[in-house]
Amino acid sequence: MANQLENLVQSIKSKVRSLKKSKKPYVKMDKSSSVKVEIRGRQARKLIDKTLKAADRPGKRPVP
């Protein structure tokens, strides 16, 4: 059992070393459509909050 574990550790180490040597160790994934929708929703929420803060202060300077 210990020998199998040692072989596994050695194989993982060699794979990690080979990844470090290559210029592009991983393929960057694009954002999924659900993540893009989530990001847009957060941005919209921030804009709405900013607008409501400004609306709560009529006659005052706009909120930066």
For residue range 29-57, what is the model confidence (pLDDT) as tens digits?
788 888 899 999 999 999 999 988 888 87
pLDDT band at 23 (very low <50, low <70, confident <90, very high): low
Q: Please give the residue range of the domain that contains residue 43.
A: 2-55
Whether residue 60 is contained in a domain is answered as no
Note whether residue 38 is domain-resident: yes
Measured on CA atoms in the order 12, 14, 15, 20, is the torsion positive or negative?
positive
Q: Tell which residue, 31, 7, 11, has the closest CA to residue 19.
A: 11
> pTM for this structure?
0.44
Tally of structural domains, the chain: 1
